[in-house]
Structure 1
């Protein structure tokens, strides 16, 4: 379905964001990419759909090498890659429905897109997706009147409107409180499974990754240093991914966030999960 071979990205000045990345993702497979800031997670996601151009390597999606496509071919390939962003990437002055329907723009002629003349079947599909995501009462609200969690649901709906084969998800929960973050992560993984979509989810929250996906890819300094089951995320592997000092800071910061957002009971439960993640050897 998706195969990444020896992918490199070097920025001007010599910064190496990706160094020989190899990933294979099957249809319906959901994987989370974790790692410290600067590990190359977002660069990886954006190289796949060529929002960022890689320096070397192959990105094969449905037997097409994305790096070799011309402008028209890339536009067609991007139809099958739904993107969900950390900061939602909505047009704030447009309604929820208008933002969701923008997921179909790649399928319309120039004039139909310019005039926003969407086929009725697209409108019907948008209603169905919004209902499934709990937004049926917000269809005609402006997007700048929504909460963060609601805005991210609109972003999910827009991506699903493309009828993609692959979901590329870049830090979908980073701007959300812990409760909403779990709701959003649950929705993304549920919708991917319902539609048998492959999904690559860039996420900082190790607990959410452990809870909702069956495969975790750990990155550090542009390289993959772990690729396996959440059950294999023990103290040693987490230290390999984050580094000893970084990992200790991560644990402390996570505890602070949970205590301030969710109360002591929630913090206690999540801390036990975190301790399990760090100490389990099974």
Structure 2
């Protein structure tokens, strides 16, 4: 279980990105984080694994308080938090298999990783994950030969081979077409269900979030403006998160685009 208590982030410029965030995410729950640009979504995800240091508050993963860990303790704790990035963060010159196995770096150490000396169990798991996401035949291809959707699947495998307790997912569909976006969201949710994984997905596409996740949290100006089931995202609620918009027309347009891409 992930728990945030009064989490805050203020940058050196004085800009307050997060204010008093209280949030609990149980094991197995997939949560979508929505909100306008600058609302604090990416900052919130990065404060959890301390890629961005919180200014105040506490973050717990089960009984481990992440916000009080030393550098060594944090390095070990990050093994339990898989990260999936918007821009994939793959090493272009490496193969698909090598990129997936890089997710084991926190376990095998730099030199064994550099020399490609991974335990056979790790290699077997990488093959199994690539098979699960439909990329087994591309294990030996270089990452720069892949499409955007294929790259994101490699990123998913790299995160999962850590055997994490939590997935932190930052705009996984921002660079993808509508059909591929649905495939990636469906895949993430299925894998979380199979493994009992909690996930927080920062996503800009409200309709996509409503279609796939169990819970939606809306941020506005660094504070939680909504926390509930996707079907409670009424036009009034969306207006409170994003501001004035013809939400019924926007929802219909998204639905038409989705049907056209099927």
TM-score range, shorter chain: over 0.9
Distance in 1 between the 2:60 and 2:249 partners?
36
Aligned-partner SS, 2:260: helix
Q: Does 1:204 align with 2:204?
A: yes
Could you list the structure 1 runs, at least 4 aligned residues long, displaced by more than 6 angstroms after superposition: none
Aligned-partner SS, 2:6: strand
Q: Please, what TM-score do these two structures have when normalized by structure 1?
A: 0.89
> Deviation digits for residues 214-251 of structure 1, max 9, x if unmatched?
1000000000010001111101110011011xx34996
- On the 8 A contact 1:2/1:59 being kept in 2, the answer is yes
User: 1:56 is matched with which residue?
Assistant: 56
Deviation at 1:12, TM superposition (A): 1.3
> Deviation digits for residues 28-50 of structure 1, max 9, x if unmatched?
11110000111000000011001
Q: Does 1:37 align with 2:40?
A: no
> How do 1:19-98 residues align onto structure 2 when only pairs under 5 Å count?
19-98=19-98
Distance in 1 between the 2:97 and 2:153 partners?
12
User: 2:260 is matched with which residue?
Assistant: 266
Q: Does 1:185 align with 2:185?
A: yes
Q: Does 1:151 align with 2:145?
A: no
- Structure 1 alignment gaps of length 5 or more: 270-282
Aligned-partner SS, 1:116: coil
Q: Does 1:113 align with 2:116?
A: no
- On the 8 A contact 1:178/1:258 being kept in 2, the answer is no
User: 1:136 is matched with which residue?
Assistant: 136
User: 1:280 is matched with which residue?
Assistant: none
Deviation at 1:252, TM superposition (A): 5.2
- Number of residue pairs matched by the alignment: 262
Inter-CA distance 37–140: structure 2 relative to 1 (3 Å threshold): same
User: 1:274 is matched with which residue?
Assistant: none
Aligned-partner SS, 1:31: strand
User: 1:104 is matched with which residue?
Assistant: 104
Aligned-partner SS, 1:79: helix
Distance in 2 between the 1:139 and 1:40 partners?
36
> Deviation digits for residues 162-204 of structure 1, max 9, x if unmatched?
0000000000000000000000000000001000000011101
- The CA RMSD measured in Å over matched residues stands at 2.0
- On the 8 A contact 1:95/1:141 being kept in 2, the answer is yes
Q: Please, what TM-score do these two structures have when normalized by structure 2?
A: 0.95
